Amino acid sequence: MNRYSIITDKNPREIVLLRGSGCRWRRCTFCDYHTDSSPDEAANFALNRTVLEQITGEYGRLEVINSGSFVDLDGCTVDLLTQICQRRSIHTLHIECHWMHRDALAPFRERFAAVGTDVIFKIGVETFDADFRERILRKGIGRISAAEIAAAGFGEVNLLCGLAGQTAASMTADIECGLAHFSRVCVNLMVENTTPIKPDPEAVRAFLEEVVPRYKDDLRVDILVENTDFGVGE
Ligand code: SF4
């Protein structure tokens, strides 16, 4: 499993995949990557330390992902992450969080502000069609709007494309909504995994042929056709 990478094309940054205690939601119907977790905090920290020590700060920008939310990381890992941000002059930290932990954003932001690091929280919304998101994908966000999600303190979103029921128009609408309310949008194409949710061939075709060409050069849009396109994971 590769856990450290550098993204050079859009929004250049280092990216690390850390291990936490596991997503506390775990109910999204399309997701099986929350299995990269362990209840053993000491083992998680030992692993995470080897990853965090690779950070050089060359772009001043770091993205941390951990197959869940930052609240699932152990205290020693967060302490070391704070120290690394300070030592390596990381001015911006991008980190993920589920809606259920939104009250944890402000104290985490304050903690990193104390070492000169601005935190941008990324949330997986998958789609702004709340009915599809909650009834089919079971995201656990509720039927709230993009504006409400942004107002809660989230600055970036993950979207999921290539699902049955999605069209080029609906996927484009999701991206446009994301760009209207958030600083960046990360678009993930659904890939085959162990869940019953499968990529839909027509939606995948529409995404690749009609949606990707429109956004591939947009510096605010990351497009992941494979889960490993950021260079981490397996
Ligand atoms: S919140 Fe994220 S990690 Fe948790 S089940 Fe949903 S997609 Fe998976």
- The domain ranges of the chain are 4-224
Apex CA 76: angle with CA 70 and CA 80, to 5°?
Answer: 85
Q: What pLDDT is attached to residue 229?
A: 82
Residue 38 CA to residue 57 CA, distance in Å, equals 28
**137 pLDDT more than 90:** yes
Residue 1 pLDDT more than 90?
Answer: no
Residue 8 in this model has a pLDDT that exceeds 90: yes
How far is it, in rounded angstroms, from Cα 144 to Cα 129?
10
Task: Tell how far the Cα of 221 is from the centroid of ligand 1, in angstroms.
Answer: 21
User: What pLDDT, on a 0 to 100 scale, did the predictor assign at position 16?
Assistant: 98
The token pair at 208 is: 């690749």
Residue 137 alpha carbon to ligand 1 centre in Å: 10
Element (H, E) at 150: helix 146-151
Whose Cα sits closest to atom 5 in ligand 1?
26
Q: Which CATH architecture has domain 4-224?
A: Alpha-Beta Barrel (3.20)
Q: State the distance from the centre of ligand 1 to the C-alpha of 68, rounded, in angstroms.
A: 6
